[in-house]
Structure formats: structure tokens, C-alpha cells
Structure 1
Amino acid sequence: MEKKYKILLYTFIGLAVLLGVVYFANKIVKQKIKAGIEQELLNSNVEYKDISVDIISGSSVVSSPKLKLGSATISSEELSVIDLDYKEYFSNNKIVFDRIVFKKPEIHITQSDTLKDPDKENSKKGFKEDIKIRHLVIQEGHLKISENDTIKEQLYISLKNMDIYDLHITEASLKNKIPFSFREVSINSDSLFYSLDPEHDLQVKNLQLKKGTLNISDLRIIPKFSKTEFDQRQKVEKDRFELNVPRIKMKGFSWGFNGDKLQLESATTFFEKADFLVYRNKLLPDDNSIKPLYSQKLRELETKLKFDTIQISNSSLIYEEKSVAGKPPGKVMFSEMDVTIANVSNLNMEAENFQPTTIKAKAKFMGESNLNFNMEFDISDLEDKFNFSGNLVGISAGAMNSFLKPALNIEVEGKISSMFFNFYGNDDNALGDTRLQYHDFKVEILKKDGYSKNKILSGLANLILKKNVANKKIDQKNISATRDKTKSFWNFLWLCIRNGALKSFL
């Protein structure tokens, strides 16, 4: 029995000594680690309230940290460091974290050219070692991006959760717009706001990015002013937009920076039930600036794009044009729109196999006519050549008058049974063919009040209209149009179709 007690006694003594060694070793190591972290934080221009270290769990907690990474400032309620690789830190002076958690961080990125040079800012207190974080977690945070510290943010995102994998910070990365590299990001946001321009804001109710799939719910472009106030603020005519898209889904989505330019890529992009309203007051002075064609716009766009397929389903577009004072604007309406756009890219434009952009669309025109439209152009083509074609079946006078009467003081009778068009063009001119079939067509030109008929002008117009051609189709070849470069592409398209229609009518 006495021997057993001695064994137990020696065992307890041994455990006590071991615990004592562990306690003092833990205390010494904790102090060394804490001192090392504090020194590293000071060298990295990080402010904080307190640091706690748990050597057993391999974790550290920094209270109220505030740090600057290039143009980004990050302040947080708490920063938890889990599994710091101490061997790498003390042996190779490398900082490798398994996981870092930011609780309720505020991330503010400024982009103003007036900010101090990040090279000079970091020359004294910069990251001397590579920092690698296998998994960075942001919980209940907010991201703001603005031109400078004094103006309202251009971009605001509420981040319920954000996970960044294999994040890497170096002295070189701090000079980039995103001050770190990464392998993958997942985001769950319940609010996004972006100031598009002085007249429009963009809002998103929910945004989720995970495993290369981006889901956006309730995206809206909202005018900041009513139509009347919007017009009062304009020196020249300008479009006012309203957009509502209940759902957008992007598969194979990725983003990053190509040099200093933002790059976005998506294999397939889906828009469902989008409603787009465009308003323009033609009574304002013309905007005589040059309007590039879409191929040139995309070619010269600062943001780099590669969207393989874009599909728009069951959507609508309404264009309102105010042309007569004191009267409501004329409307052109497209509903039940299904559109497929392929190969929207301004990357690798020098490649021999660079693919042209194609558009295929079908819709209800003015709520009653079946419209099919096709277009093709090459973004890399410096001559900006394009081809568009389509057909329209069955449009009544009532549908046409909803635009012609308020916009042009013209009222028509009769029906256009069918129309076909096919044009090839470039930035200067276009040439093509049209085919038109109509019957019982009459034109009434209205007086300035928009109601009374101008009998003399109406009579002259109807005299020169061709007789009833309901039983045959009128083909017109080599219809030409010259582009007014101060007008949009859609004005150019309208000129082509109008020239063919006028030649068929007269």
C-alpha cells in the first residue's frame, strides 16, 4: 500500500511540475506572441484597444482594431485570429493565419487622386512580410467606396456575411486598387446602393455570390427627380431612366482587376421580368456631342468585360418622348420581350477568332404586333460595321397614333399588315432593303392644338399616298441613310426604316 501511495505522490508532483512548466511557458510564449503581434500591428499602421492570446487554442483577439491597407480603411468591433502558424512566424518571419474573423467592420475605400501616394504612406510603416490568410470572415459589416472622405459614398454595401479564401497581402499588392489577392469570395448582402450619376441611383435589395454564381434580387434604377424637375435641371435633352429587375442570375461569374481596370466575366446572365422606362424631352436644346456606336463604346469601355450569353425574358421597354408643349409625351412600347445576346467582350480583341456580338429579340410592339429583330456587330472592328434585320406583323392605326399624335401632331387611319427590313452599315452610312404591305392608309395632319385637323395639309399628304396595296408587297431596294453622329444608334435605325417606308408610301 505504501508503495502505491508513493507512486501516486510522485505522479501528482510530476503533474504539478508539468503544469507549472506549461503555465510559465504559456505565459512566456503568450507575452512573446503578444509582443510580436503588437510590434507587427504598429509596423503595419494598425490602431487597437487591447490584445488577448490563448496559446492552447492558438487564437488571439484584437479589440477595436483600425487599420489602413492602401486606399482602404478598416475599423472593427473585434478581430479574432484563429490558428496563427507560430512556427512560420518565429522561424521564417512569415505571417500565416488559418482564419480571421472581423465582427461588425466598417470598410471605407477612397479613390480620389488627391489622396496621399500609398507608396509614400507605406514606406515608413509598411508590411515587411507576406501575410497569408486561408479564410477571412466578415460578419455584419459595411463597405463604402467614395471619391474622397468628404462626399457621400458612391457605393454602399451592407454585408451580412463575406468570406474570402486564400487572401494574400504584400507590399506590392498594397499599391493595387484591391490591396490583396484572393482565390475566391462569397458574399451575402441585404442592401446595396450606388450613385450612378447626378440624376439616378442604383439600389439592390439582396445580393448573393457563392461558388461563381451571383444572384441579385430587386435591382432598381431610381430617378432622383420628377420628370418636371429633371427637365428643369437639364441644359440639353437627356434620357431619364427607371428600371426594375426582380431577378438577375449570373453563372460562371468572376471579377477582379486587369491592371488598374475592373474586369467582369460571366458565362450566362439571366434577367427576368425587367421593366425599363426611358423618358426624353425633345423640347430642350439638342445635345450635339458625338454619340459612338455600341461597338466603339464597348471597345473603349474602361471596364473589361467578357459576357458569353445574356438572356432577357418576359420584359418590357417603354420610350416616352415629349415633343409638343402642353401635351403628354408620345409612347413607343415593347412588351413580352425575349432577348438573347451573345459574345459581349472587349478582352483579347486582337485574337484571330474573336467572335462578333449577336442579338436576337422578339417582342410585342405597341401591345399587338409581333416584332422580330436581329443584329450583329464586331466590337474589335475599327470601322464599326453592323447588320440589323427584322420583321413586324400587323400594326393598327390606333397603336401608331399613341406615338404619332402626341409626338408629331399626326394621326393615321388604316393598317400596316407587314414590314420587313435588312440593312448593312457603319459609323457613316447604311444601305438595305425593305418590304411593306398596308391598306386603307390615310394621314391627318393636326393643327398646333393637337386636336383640329389641318385639312389642306392632310389633303395634300393623302393625294401623294399610293393607292390601296393590300394585295401585294412593295419591295424597295438600295434604301440608303446617312448617320447623324450627334444622334444615337436607334435614331440611325429609325432613319433606315423610315426612308424605306416613305418610298413605299409615296
Structure 2
Amino acid sequence: MKKTLKVTGIVLGSILLLILIVNIGFSLWLKYQLPDYIKNKTPYAITYKTLNVEILSGSISADDILIKSKNPDDKKVLAIDGFVNGLNVSRLGIIDLIKNKKINTNSIRLTNPKLKVRLAQKKSKDSVKEPMPFLIRNIDITKGNIEVINLDDSKVFSAKNLNLEIKNLSLNENPDELPFALDSYKITAKDFFARISDVYTINSSDVKTDNGQLEINDFELKSVLDFKDWEKNFTKQKSLFNIKSKKVSFSDLVFDNTKLNLKNAQFVDPEFIIQNRDAKIIKPKNPKKNGIDFNFANIDIKNGTLSILKSNQEKSLSLAKFDANVTDFVMNEETSKNKLPFKFKDYKIVGNTFFYDSGKYYNMTLSSFKLASQSIDLMNFKLIPKMSRAEFVRTIPMEDDQFNISANRILLSGVDWTFEKELDLHLKSAKLHNVDANIFRSKIPKDNPKEKLLYSKLLRQIKFPLIVDNLNLVDSKLVYEEDKPDSNGPGKVFFTNFNMSVKNLNSNKKKGANTKVPIVINCKFMGVSPMKVNWNFDTANMRDNFTIGGYINNLPANDINPFIKPYMNITATGTITSLNYDFKGNNDVMNGKFRITHKDLKVNLLDKDTKKKKKFLSGVANLLVKKDSQKFPESVDIYVERNKERSFFNFYWKGIEDGLKKSLLVIKI
């Protein structure tokens, strides 16, 4: 037994002695032969003050290292020029380094490195020589000043006073995933710069981590190309971005090969500028799948500005100031299958001085707005024509309406929406306060032969489920003006104190849901006469059946002269004391009952050009008009066929006109 132990001890001692001898021998070899190895086997001239090697731990340390490229003009080789005060490498696979030219180490520490690196020329696709692989799990840089440039001297990376600590780094060669993963990191740096793609760079005056939070001051993401060069060379990209922010911070930022997770992201005083190309992007038939998951627990934007520009630098959308908060933001492979490629739990956006270019004819503005997951509050909404009426009429190819609309407030509440395969929108209430809508139509352009759909069919053609439980216009004003080639100025009809209640506005896309839409309108016709309308239709009815009825009381005939004088070359005096109607119709015809009472009603026919009264013809016309109605006149039956090239309201007023003719005239014409 003692003999066995003695032999074992001798063997172990011999092995240890052999390792010690090898360690000493290898250390001496490195000390005396490494300079020759570096001189003959590498493209760099490297000198150092001291060098220590431990075979057992695989550690190397060196001090006062000076490195220079032997041939800095050789573009095929990475060029390095600089000084490192201290280098510590632990658990380096020395045999791998010498035999296989492979760097495999647990950690590397650089103290006070001052390095300028010029990248080598990219190898051709036909080149069979592989770049030297490396694996460094942990990196520690203290007081570094590092600059990396391209062959054309354009900067790739730079940082001053760089202090960096990375734990458990792993690189990833899959282009569809993040290029690296790590467990933790710490960084401080001044004048940080990095080129992150062929288009974009990021820079910052100051970068630091504190208690797990990354702070970036004076952050800027910008393009290295002007818009024309970008538009020419990157044809598959829709937009060019420029982002500045006084401060950007992230907490608990975690990198994985396929995931980027963080708890909080905050942008302070950010400025977002997005410039879009005019041409449409042709999407590939088989787009690459995005394997990267983004999970943000909370995103905050404070005092931000936003500008979206057209290719000619004109604004298509802008926000003078906004604050935003989004929680539980997720974008991954699953959400990318939906029309909205991300999802979130909650959001809140508050902004002011909003501008949107709505196309060729209109701009839209808001003085302020508040958006939340269940409510939308818009203040001082305006839809403003870009052209004068004359310019608009000259521009449009066929007859069309010009709108000028404002609303003091638009409040949407009980908002419930999803956007997966398609948009699904349900509103409990939509309330529009103090709407002022002016609609102008000129009869000078040629008629538009396209069929004008009734509202039930228009709603039915909305491709997604839409339900608005209650839609209300409050204390509003509607003005309609129509101009004919032979009239002197537009005819005008208007409604003040306009209040409208619409129930169950829907697109008939929810199975089993109620599709009937009742509408009640109370207003003053021509600003003086009380008017009420009851209107009903059903979006599920394929014949577009509807009913509409109501009344107008105490209408002075003088008040309708602004419309009938330029449009019909007629003026009227007297009073329409009441006008009642009850119609029903569909997409083809309308019929029903009409009744009117009036007092001292007279008409004057006017000359088309001079607008002076035609006395003889006016006298003949008044012989055909019943001067006074009976107290309780009989109702008359109306029947009109629909001109489908005209709107629903044209159809509606044709029914009123038919009733007036049959009620007022003594003889049939």
C-alpha cells in the first residue's frame, strides 16, 4: 500500500514538475521568441515592456504595448495603430491561437487603449480564405480612446474615455436575428459614434449606465446620405429617418439572439423627422421572416416633435409638441402576420398644433388632441380647402363638392378596437360639438355619371366591422351653396342650431348584431324656422329601404330667397306656416304624404340676366298659386323616381318639390 502511494506521489509530482517546466519553458519561449514570431508571422510591429504567461490558467498579461501596421497602405489587411497601457487575457486557448489562428478566451481586459483601426478591404465572394474566428466571453475596457474607420476614411466607430464591461458575450451569424447576445453590460463614454448600417449613424455626447439604466445624452440617429442619393440607391426602403433627443434612457435592457427586452424607455425632447419617397414600394413575393422579438414594458416620450416630409421637403404631417406613453409593446413573428405588425396593452398620446396634408384638395389641423386606449379627444378640428372656389372648379374634371369643415371638439369614448386580420372598431359614443360645415358645388363642370350610393349601402361597403352606438352633432351649422353657369352668385340653404342623434351606426359586418339605424335631427331651417327630421334605414336591407319624415314651421318666404333667387330666378313673399311630410323609399322610388299651410304667399319671376321682376309673368304665376291655404288642408301624395347620378339629399328634396307643386298650384302643369 505504501509502495502504491509512493509511486502515485512520484507520478503526480513528475507531472506537476513537467507542467512547471513546460510553463517556464513556454514563458521563456514567449518572452524571447514571441517578438520574432510576431515579426515574421503577423502584419503588425508590436512591442511591449513586460509579458507574463501562465500555462495552467491560460492567462497572458502585458504592459505598455505599442502596435503599428507594418504596411499601412495594404488595404487587404486590418490596419492598427496605437498604444495599450495594459492587456490581460484569461483562459486563452494558446494552442488554438498558434495552430488554428483561433482566439478563444474567457475574458480580455484593456487598460487605457489609444487605438486607431482601419478596416480591411472586403473579401470577394470567391475567396475561400475564412476570417479568423474568435470568441471572447467577457470584455473589460478602461479609459479607452478608440476610432475605427473605413478605407475611405469614413468613420465606423469612435469613443473617448470609454469604460466598457460586457459579461457572457456571444456572437450570432444569423442575419435575421440580433448580431449578439449578452447577460449584462456597463458603459461610460464621451463623444460616442457608431455607423450602424449603410444608411444610418448614431452619435451621442455622453453615454453611461447607472444601476442597470442606460442613459444617452444628445442622442442623434441620422443618415449619411442626402435624400436624393438614398432614394436612388435604396429603392426597397420607404422612409428615411432622422431622430434627435436631448436624453434617451433604457432600464433593464436585455439582449438575446432573437429578443430585445427592456422595462422602460424614455425619450426627452425628441425630434422625429421622417422623409418619404413618392414612388410606391414593391413588396417581395416571399419576404424574409423577421426573427427578432421586441418586448418593451414601458415607452415614454416627453415634449417630442414630429415631422413627416414628402420627397420635395414639404410637410405631409407635423406635430409641434406631444407626449406619449405605451405599455407592454410587443413586436414578434406572431404579430408580424397581422395588418398591424405589433400589439400593446395601453397607450396615451397628448399633443398640440397638429397638421396633416390630406391630399390634393385639403389640409387638416387640430389645436390639440388626447388619444387613449378607450377615448379620443380632438380640439378645434379644421378641414381647410387648399384652393379657392374658382381654382377648385377649374381643377376638378367632373362635378364635385368642396368642403370647409370645422368643429370645436370631437370626443370619441368607449373606443374598443383590434387590428389583427382586419380592423374591428366599436365606439360607444361619438360627439361632435359646434360643427360648422360649408358645402359648395358648382354646376359648371360636367356631370359625374357615377352612381351615388344611399347611406345604407355606403355603410355596408365598409370592409371591416364598425359600430357606433351613439353619434351626436351638437349645436352645429350646415351650409349648402350651389352655383350654376347662368346664375349671379351661388344659391344658399343653411341650417343653424343643428342637433343630430344617430343610433347604432354600423357596417353590417357583425353577425347577429342590430343593423337598424334611427336618426333624429332638430334644427332651424334658414336660421329662423324650427325643423325636425326622423330618418330610418337598415344596413342589412339590400334594397336600401328607408323612411324619412318631419316638419318645418313658420318659414318666411323671404328667407329662402337667397337660394331660389340665383338658382331659380324667383323670389317669394309671405309665410309657410307649416310643412309636414312622411316619405318612404328605396334605391329606385320614393312616395308618401305631403301637407303644407301658408299665408299671403306670392312669387316674383326675375329676368335671368338683369334679375329685375317680370311683372306680367309674375302676375300670371300668382294666379296659379293658392294665396292662402285652408286651416287644415288635405295632404297630397308624392311620387318621385330616383336619379342615381344624384345624392340622397337631391332625392329627398325632389319629394319636397313634388309636394309643393301639388299643394300650391291651382292647376296641374
Aligned to 2:202: 49
CA distance in 1, matches of 2:244, 2:488: 57
Residue identity matched to 2:264: R
The structure whose residues are more often strand, as a share, is: 2
Partners of 1:149 and 1:262 lie apart in 2 by 30
Judging changes above 3 Å, is the alpha-carbon distance between structure 1 residues 315 and 357 closer, same or farther for their aligned structure 2 residues?
same
SS in 1 for 2:635: strand
Deviation (angstroms), 1:105: 4.5
Corresponding residue number in structure 2 for 1:341: 502
Q: What corresponds to 2:393 in structure 1?
A: 231
Query: Which residue in the other structure is 2:484 paired with?
Result: 323
| Shift of residue 26, structure 1, vs aligned partner | 9.4
- Scaled by the length of structure 2, what TM-score is found? 0.64
Residue identity in the other structure for 2:211: I
The residue number in structure 2 matching 1:95 is: 260
Deviations 1:171-228 (A, max 9, x none): 3534655432112221111122223342221111111113522211111011111222
CA positional deviation for 1:286: 2.0
Query: Please, which moves more after superposition, 191-200 or 495-504?
Result: 191-200
Please say if residues 504 and 514 of structure 2, whose CA atoms lie closer than 8 Å, have aligned partners that are also in contact.
no
SS of the aligned residue for 1:76 comes to strand
Identity %: 26
More off after superposition, 487-496 vs 212-221: 212-221
1:229-378 alignment runs, 5 A limit: 229-257=391-419, 259=421, 262-302=423-463, 305-323=466-484, 325=486, 327-346=488-507, 348-349=509-510, 351-378=511-538
SS at match of 1:474: coil
Please identify the structure whose Cα radius of gyration is greater. 2
**Deviation sequence 1:13-34 (CA, Å, 0-9, x none):** xxxxxxxxxxx88948832488
DSSP-derived class of the 1:453 partner: coil
**Does 297-306 or 357-366 show the bigger shift?**
297-306
Q: 1:255 to 1:44 in 2, by over 3 A?
A: farther
Paired residue secondary structure (1:182): coil
Residue 505 (str. 1) matches residue 664 (str. 2) = yes
Worse overlay, 415-424 or 183-192 = 183-192
**Equivalence map 1:373-412=2 (5 Å):** 373-412=533-572
- CA distance 1:258–1:332, change in 2 (3 Å): farther
Alignment counterpart, residue 117 of structure 1, candidates 283, 293, 313: 283
Amino acid at match of 1:30: E
Contact 1:222/1:241, CA 8 A, preserved across alignment: yes
In the TM superposition, residue 438 of structure 1 has moved relative to its aligned partner by 1.4
The answer as to whether partners of 1:413 and 1:441 remain within 8 angstroms in 2 is yes
Q: Is 2:249–2:267's contact at 8 Å kept on the other side of the alignment?
A: no
Q: Does 1:202 align with 2:364?
A: yes
Q: Distance in 2 between matches of 1:158 and 1:264?
A: 29
5+ long unaligned stretches in structure 1: 1-23
Structure 2 distance, partners of 1:358, 1:44, is 57
Correspondence 1:105-254 to 2 at 5 A: 105-106=271-272, 108=274, 114-117=280-283, 123=288, 127-143=290-306, 152=314, 154-174=316-336, 178-254=340-416
Deviation at 1:66, TM superposition (A): 6.4
User: How far apart are residue 132 of structure 1 and its match?
Assistant: 0.8
1:15 corresponding residue in structure 2: none
Kindly provide the amino acid, as one letter, of the partner of residue 577 in structure 2: S
- Asked if the contact 1:107/1:144 (under 8 Å) is kept, the reply is yes
1:84 matched to 2:240? The reply is no
Asked whether the 8 Å contact 1:43–1:127 carries over to 2, the reply is no
Structure 1 pair 457/335, CA: closer, same or farther in 2 (3 Å)?
same
The 3 A distance-change label for structure 1 pair 437 and 474 is: farther
Specify the code of the residue in structure 2 equivalent to 1:253: V
CA 1:326–1:375 in structure 2 vs 1: closer, same or farther (change >3 Å)? closer
Q: CA deviation at 1:456?
A: 3.9
Q: Which residue, 220, 242, 255 being the options, matches 1:64? A: 220
2:614 pairs with 446, 451, 454, which one?
454
Residue 274 and residue 169 in structure 1: after superposition, are their counterparts in 2 closer, same or farther (change >3 A)? same
The one-letter code sitting in structure 1 at the alignment partner of 2:647 is S
- SS in structure 2 at match of 1:457: helix
Maintained 8 Å contact 1:70/1:179? no
* Secondary structure, counterpart of 1:98 in structure 2: strand
Match of 1:30 in 2: 165
Amino acid at match of 2:429: T
* Partner Cα separation in structure 1 for residue 337 and residue 197 of structure 2: 14
- TM-score w.r.t. the length of structure 1 is 0.82
Matched, 1:418 2:578: yes
Coordinate RMSD, CA, aligned:
3.5
AA at the equivalent of 2:301: I
**Secondary structure of the corresponding residue to residue 165 of structure 2:** helix
Note if contact 1:247-1:271 (Cα within 8 Å) is conserved in structure 2: yes
In 2 relative to 1, CA 32–59 (structure 1 residues): closer, same or farther, beyond 3 Å? same
Q: Tell me the matched-pair count.
A: 474
Identify the range of structure 1 (445-454 vs 414-423) with the bigger mean alpha-carbon deviation: 445-454
Higher relative contact order (CA 8 A, sep 6+): 1
Higher helix share: 1
Is the Cα contact below 8 Å between 2:275 and 2:313 reproduced in 1? no
For residues 225-272 of structure 1, give each alpha carbon's deviation from its aligned partner in whole angstroms, at most 9, with x where no partner exists. Answer: 12222222233322111112111211112455353x555442112211
1:438 counterpart = 2:604: no
The answer (yes or no) to whether the contact 2:465–2:509 under 8 Å persists in 1 is: no
Q: 1:408 to 1:343 in 2, by over 3 A?
A: same
2: distance between equivalents of 1:73 and 1:172?
26
For residues 51-73 of structure 1, the C-alpha deviation after alignment (integer angstroms, 9 at most, x for no partner) is 84626334364943469999676
Partners of 1:46 and 1:65 within 8 A in 2: no
Q: CA separation of 1:163/1:34 partners in 2, compared to 1, >3 Å: closer, same or farther?
A: farther
Amino acid of the residue matched to residue 468 of structure 1?
Answer: D
1:420–1:258 distance in 2 versus 1, CA, 3 Å = farther
Match of 2:22 in 1: none
How far apart, in 1, do the equivalents of 2:170 and 2:200 lie? 14
Equivalent residues of 1:397, 1:412 under 8 A apart = yes
Matched letter for residue 480 of structure 1: Y
* Contact 2:486/2:608 (<8 A) preserved: no
Quick one: distance in 1 between partners of 2:273 and 2:618?
Answer: 66
SS of match in other structure, 2:566: helix
- CA drift of 1:410 comes to 0.6
- Equivalent position SS for 2:661: helix
Q: In the aligned structure 2, how far is the partner of 1:156 from the partner of 1:297?
A: 31
CA separation of 1:277/1:35 partners in 2, compared to 1, >3 Å: closer, same or farther?
farther
- Paired with 1:34 and 1:333, the residues of 2 have a C-alpha distance of 72
Point out the more displaced range, 463-472 or 164-173.
463-472
Bigger drift between 187-196 and 215-224 goes to 187-196
